[in-house]
Structure 1
Amino acid sequence: MLTLTLYSRADCCLCEEMKAVLAQVQEDLPFTLEQIDISTDPELESRFGQEIPVLFVNGRKAFKYRLTAGELRRRLVRERVVS
Structure 2
Amino acid sequence: MKVVLYSKDECCLCANAKVILRELQKEFSFQVEEVDIYKDDALLEKYQIMIPVVEIDGKEVQCGIIQKDVIRKRLIKFSGVE
- Across the aligned residues of Structure 1 and Structure 2, the Cα RMSD in angstroms comes to 1.4
Cα distance in 2, alignment partners of residues 31 and 46 from structure 1: 27
Quote the Cα distance in structure 1 between the aligned partners of 2:14 and 2:46.
17
Are residues 1:9 and 2:8 paired? yes
Give the AA of the match of 2:7. S
Structure 1: runs of 5+ lacking an equivalent: none
Deviation of 1:45 (Å): 0.7
Task: Name the count of aligned residue pairs.
Answer: 81
Equivalent AA in structure 2 for residue 25 of structure 1 = L
Which residue of structure 2 aligns with residue 70 of structure 1?
69
Q: Residue 69 of structure 2 aligns to a residue in which SS?
A: helix
Write the distance in 2 (CA, Å) between the matches of 1:71 and 1:45. Answer: 24
Q: Which residue of 2 aligns with 1:32?
A: 31
In structure 1, the residue matched to 2:54 is 55
Runs of 4+ residues over 4 Å off in structure 1: none
Question: Under a length normalisation based on structure 1, what TM-score does the superposition of the two structures give?
Answer: 0.89
Q: Give the superposition deviation at 1:70.
A: 2.0
Q: What are the superposed Cα offsets for residues 35-70 of structure 1, whole Å, 9 maximum, x if unpaired?
A: 000111111111111110011110001010122222
Displacement after TM superposition at 1:79 (Å): 0.9
* Percent sequence identity over aligned pairs: 30
SS at 1:56 equivalent: strand
